[in-house]
Amino acid sequence: MATLPSVINAASNPLALAADWPGNFWLHLLVFTLVIIGFVFTTVVIFIWFERRLVGRFQIRLGPNRAGPFGLLQPVADVLKLLTKEGNTPKNGDKLLFWLAPMVAFTPVLLVFAVIPFWEGATLVDLDIGVVYIIAISSLSSIGIFMAGWASNNKYSLIGAMRDVGQLVSYEIPLVLSIAGVVLFSGSLSVGGVVAAQDIPFILLQPLAFAIYFMAGLAEINRCPFDMVEADSELISGYNIEFSGMKFAMLMLTEYSEAILLSVLVTTFFLGGWRGPWLPPVVWFIIKVVGVFFLIDWVRFTLMRLRIDQVMAFAWKFLLPLALINLVITGIEVVLLPDISPWLLMVINLAVMVFLILTWARMFKPGGKKVEA
Amino acid sequence: MTLKTEPFVINLGPMHPSTHGVFRMRLTLDGEVVVDVEPVFGYLHRGLEKLAESRTYKQNFPYTDRLDYVSSMSNGMAYAMAVEKLAGIRVPERAEYIRVIMAELQRIASHLLAVGSFTNDLGTFFTPFMYMFREREKIVDLFEMVSGQRLLYNYMRFGGVSQDLPDEFLPALEKLVRTMPGYIDEYDQLLAENEVLLARSKGVGVLPRDMAINYSASGPVLRASGVEWDVRKADPYSIYDRFEFKIPTAQNGDCYDRYRVRIAEMRQSLRIIEQAMQQMPAGEIINKVPLRLRPPAGEAYARIESTKGELGFYLVSDGSDKPYRFHVRAPSLINLTALRQMVIGCKLADVIAVFGSIDICMGEVDR
């Protein structure tokens, strides 16, 4: 889609970095590894504070406000508390897996950040198959969650872990299919290429894919209303029920870094990544990430949890057909109408989305009839 | 190929955030589907009924608050009525009105808690719960004005109530009655048509009409199954025959209907409070009762429509100052017996929803 006019800014950015920015390949690797680790850890800490203040506002109360100004030190206090706690291992659990699980869960999340551009050129490595890499790696952390549930030797954990695997298998398909639409439009599997193609953010050109990706992503990272894995009111805390101390902290870290990862991926694939007028690219990037994170929290604090069969039915009966239709329509648009005005395309795709979602919502009612497992 | 599977047993409770106290269910699950459920009571058993036999009638009063500790006012009213029936004590007009106002306020407070924790059981992260606690707080403030307590009021007395309403009470109550319908509308806007709430609660935990009667369920559980039965109308006590109000019912007997009935009952309670405020006369609030009450030998049963159903106190006197027998007909316990009927065949998540929709209080179940 080379004909798209640039509505955000030109792709050639004065702040763009060279591929091996500080001048040396190994130095580049070192610097960006530190940047990614720093980014993930600091954003997790800040977002935990942000979420807790936010939920206070949602629930007409104040939220944490004792530790430091505006309760800013609350995450620090939480981490210190967890550090001093005893790490308990269940007696009849699988000790090796129990020890390994938090790391197996957390590492893939960190790995995905390797291909995310924070601004042009500011990425650890811009793989040519970056999108495939993201899809492949990001689902690996479910193995860690399943390990955690299995190794705890606890029935609640096991139910949570089994739900997680089932959910992952179901939601991976619409997730991938919705990204396929984005890839078709950008004509590139590299994450940098996807961002570079977004002269108009793909949320406007691919609204349906955005909706599907966001919902499937929520299910992937086990956030409300698809938080079957944790399900406070049923499974108490699901897979992490037996964990304590730093192992628990690692699982919490996984959970929040996954939420941040979803925000980052939505930003990169649909909101134009680091691109935006006037402000420095990295500021735009962070603004968009915070915006998506706010959306995730908004859903979490408003909606109820679906039942496991409804969650599954939602993936297979609602998201999957829509994702397939979206892919076909996108393919037709890319192949047959390469020169169409993007503004017209926007209107068409928006109309298609509204029509499809309304039709499907009429046909598929989670509350209408009992869905058989 | 069929996989070989076997059901497994999971202990839901006694320490579980959604069992509303210390209740335990031994669930037999086939995957996520409930095959069998065995409720285990008694973790909160305090021997209250036996304890009451060694205390005087007056000393027993605070214990009744601790039965269903989220509707202490109703409990006190029922116990006072039972003793008044036993000893033939009359209650002044004004005290009757105050009692009715308190009981109805308590009903609103308890239903707010019930609906709030029901949505919590469905998995909202405390948001509706907090909204409902905002209004419950105002009611608890009113109770604090009259009794000095916020949970266990110990406000009712034989032959009346302990203190007259303070000056600031009626204006505050008037304000509450004026604003409350708006808040209930707000809950309806936020919850009633919520697709996820409908999906999770419609057709879940159905208690058919005849089964509800057979289990002798009462309160919102019974009325949601389509039986228009309310002690306030069926066997009017106190001064309930003077007020105009409807008995809200629903037809399907599922979790959603129970939720709707509770919301509708709050509106009716407000109507009653409004009428009581207008009709309330001035005068005495308590009749003289001997300090050491010795009712004549005999027995009495008084029942009221408590927040959770028919709450009855059965007292037997042998002429001494202590009850010979003290029995509580606890609506929570009797409604809970229908649990098995409702949850078999449901998913694990539905068990929690059904359990929340019955609205029990373990203090009353185990006594």
- The dihedral formed by the CA atoms of B109, B113, B114 and B118, expressed in degrees to the nearest 10: 160
CB-based contact A212:A178 (threshold 8 Å): yes
pLDDT in tens, A172-195: 899 999 998 888 888 888 888 888
> Longest C-alpha distance within chain B, in Å?
81
Asked whether the predicted pLDDT for residue A121 surpasses 80, the reply is no
- pTM as predicted: 0.86
Question: Which has the closest alpha carbon to B274: B266, B285, B264, B282?
Answer: B266
Q: What is the pLDDT of residue A13?
A: 54
What is the per-residue pLDDT across A262-285, written as a single tens digit (0 to 9) for each? Answer: 999 999 888 887 877 877 778 888
| Segment A41-75, tens digit of pLDDT | 888 888 888 988 888 888 888 888 888 888 888 88
CB B26 within 8 A of CB B9: yes
A366 vs B10, B31, B195: nearest CB? B195
Chain B: give the shortest CA distance to residue A292, in Å: 19
Q: What's the number of CA atoms in the CB half-sphere (13 Å) around residue A189?
A: 10
pLDDT of residue A365: 66
Q: Name every chain B residue with its beta carbon within 8 A of the beta carbon of A236.
A: 16-17
Phi-psi region of A4 (alpha: psi -120 to 50; beta: other; left: phi over 0): beta
A176 membership: H or E segment, kind and range: helix A155-186
pLDDT band with cut points at 50, 70 and 90 for residue A310: confident
pLDDT at residue A372 greater than cutoff 50: no
CA angle A37, A40, A41 (to 5 degrees): 85
pLDDT by residue for chain B (367 residues), tens only, comes to: 677 888 888 888 788 877 777 888 888 888 788 888 888 888 888 888 888 899 888 888 888 888 888 888 899 899 999 999 888 888 898 899 999 999 999 999 999 999 988 988 888 888 888 888 888 999 999 999 998 888 888 888 888 888 888 889 989 999 999 999 999 888 888 888 788 888 888 888 888 888 889 999 888 999 999 888 888 888 888 888 888 888 898 888 888 889 989 999 999 999 999 999 888 888 888 888 888 888 888 899 999 998 988 999 999 998 888 899 899 998 988 988 888 888 888 888 888 888 888 888 888 888 8
pLDDT band at A304 (very low <50, low <70, confident <90, very high): confident
Distance separating alpha carbons of residues B180 and B163, to the nearest angstrom: 26
Ramachandran quadrant class, A9 (left: phi over 0; alpha: psi -120 to 50; beta: rest):
beta
A338 has a pLDDT exceeding 80: no
Interchain pair A234, B352: CB under 8 A: yes
Residue B5: is it exposed, middle or buried by C-beta count within 10 angstroms (0-12/13-18/19+)?
exposed
Q: Is B242 strand, coil or helix?
A: helix
CB B73 within 8 A of CB B104: no
pLDDT given for residue A224 in this prediction? 78
Query: What pLDDT was estimated at residue B314?
Result: 92
Question: Which distant-in-sequence residues (6+ apart) come within 8 Å of A24 by Cβ?
Answer: none
Which residues of A make CB contacts under 8 Å with B?
55, 58-61, 155-156, 159, 224-225, 227, 231-234, 236, 300-310, 365-367, 370, 373
- Tokens describing residue B103: 């009981």
Q: Tell me how many residue pairs between chain A and chain B have CB atoms under 8 A apart.
A: 95
B189 located within any domain: yes
Contacts of A159 in chain B (CB under 8 A): 10, 32, 348
- Rounded average pLDDT over A6-11: 44
Closest CA–CA distance from residue A343 to any residue of chain B (Å)? 33
Query: How far, in Å, CA of B261 to CA of B205, rounded?
Result: 15
Q: Find tokens 């009667």 and name the residue.
A: B213
Judged by average pLDDT, the poorest of A10-19, A130-139, A200-209, B11-20 is: A10-19
Rounded CA separation A284/A263 (Å): 13
Q: What are phi and psi of B290, to 5 degrees?
A: -55, 145
In chain B, residues with a C-beta closer than 8 Å to the C-beta of A304 are 119, 122-124, 194, 196-197, 200
Return the C-alpha torsion angle A371, B2, B4, B9, nearest 10.
Answer: 0
> Rg of chain B's alpha carbons, rounded to an integer?
21
Domain that holds residue B240: 48-345
Residue with tokens 């408590």: B306
Angle, helices A207-220/A155-186, rounded to nearest 10 degrees:
160
The ranges assigned to domains in chain A are 89-363
Q: Which residues of B touch A225 (CB under 8 A)?
A: 123, 196
Whether B47 and chain A come into contact, CB under 8 Å, resolves to no
Q: Compare CB distances from A300 to B16, B18, B125 and report the shortest one's residue.
A: B125
Cα separation, A262 vs B313, whole angstroms: 58
Asked if residues B257 and B346 have their Cβ atoms less than 8 Å apart, the reply is no
Burial track A152-165 (b if 16+ CB lie within 10 A, e otherwise): bbbbbbbbbbbbbe
Is the interface score ipTM higher than 0.85? no
User: Is A118 within 8 Å of A31 (Cβ atoms)?
Assistant: no
> What type of residue is A264?
V
Q: Which two tokens stand for residue A68?
A: 């430091």
**DSSP 8-state class, residue B299:** E
Indicate which CATH number applies to the domain containing B338: 1.10.645.10
Mutate to test the interface with A, among B129, B196, B197 (most CBs of A within 10 A): B196
Residue A10 has pLDDT above 70, yes or no: no
Query: Residue B38: in which H helix or E strand, if any?
Result: strand B33-40
Q: Is residue A143 classed as helix, strand or coil in its secondary structure? A: helix
Our count of domains for chain B comes to 1
Record: contact B122-A305, CB cut-off 8 A: yes
With tokens 């029936």, the residue in question is B85
Residue A9 has a pLDDT of 45
Other CB atoms within 10 Å distance of the CB of residue B63: 21
Query: If residue B156 lies in a helix (H) or strand (E), which one and from where to where?
Result: strand B156-157
- Give the model's confidence band at A292: pLDDT under 50 very low, under 70 low, under 90 confident, else very high: very high
Mean pLDDT across chain A: 83
Average pLDDT over residues A306-325: 87
Comparison of pLDDT for B295 and A1, the residue scoring more: B295
